[in-house]
Amino acid sequence: MGPNNQLVDKATESQRVMSGCPVTAVLFLYGLPRLLTGSIMAHEVMHAYLRLNGYNNLNNVLEEGLCQVLGHMWLETQRYAPIDVAAASSSSNAAKKGEWFEYEKKLVEFCKNQIETDESEVYGKGFKRVNNVVTNSSLQETLKEIRLRG
């Protein structure tokens, strides 16, 4: 973003991190809803974390599953996050602020449901497999186990 919040540059093609290359940036679309953006950011930052910490040879199902789990975990934290004051401050009416809070709670549940019910081979099955393991231990323990098993 440049002066006066004008878009000055954007990526028009997908970018891919090649094995052995350092991660120098994570790019995101501008203008998505806050909760969707946060979930995507958590997902993409997990990809970066994996690359930067030597998890370079994971199969797609495992890697995308880990990333989907992190996005889902971030959404879970938003169920208890305080209301978005900037969005709610557009009205001093307490009822409207309460309505906004209910809307955000419903949007969190919708986004989580999208991840949980995804039927795709990589993202959906990956999430279900990794989430099952993480639910029975922790993300840290799961990553340690992956490192031990290679």
54-78: per-residue pLDDT in tens?
A: 998 899 999 999 999 999 999 999 9
pLDDT value at position 25? Answer: 76
pTM, full prediction: 0.75
Q: What is the pLDDT of residue 3?
A: 63
Structure tokens at 46: 């997990």
Q: What is the pLDDT of residue 99?
A: 72
pLDDT for the residue numbered 1: 46
- Cα–Cα distances (Å) from 72 to 11, 30, 38, in that order, read 26, 20, 10
pLDDT of residue 39: 96
Which residue positions in the chain have pLDDT lower than 70? Answer: 1-23, 82-98, 150
Q: What is the pLDDT of residue 7?
A: 52
From the DSSP assignment, how many helices (H) and strands (E) are in the chain?
A: 6, 0
Q: What is the DSSP string of 20-55?
A: TPPP------SS--HHHHHHHHHHHHHHHHHHHTT-
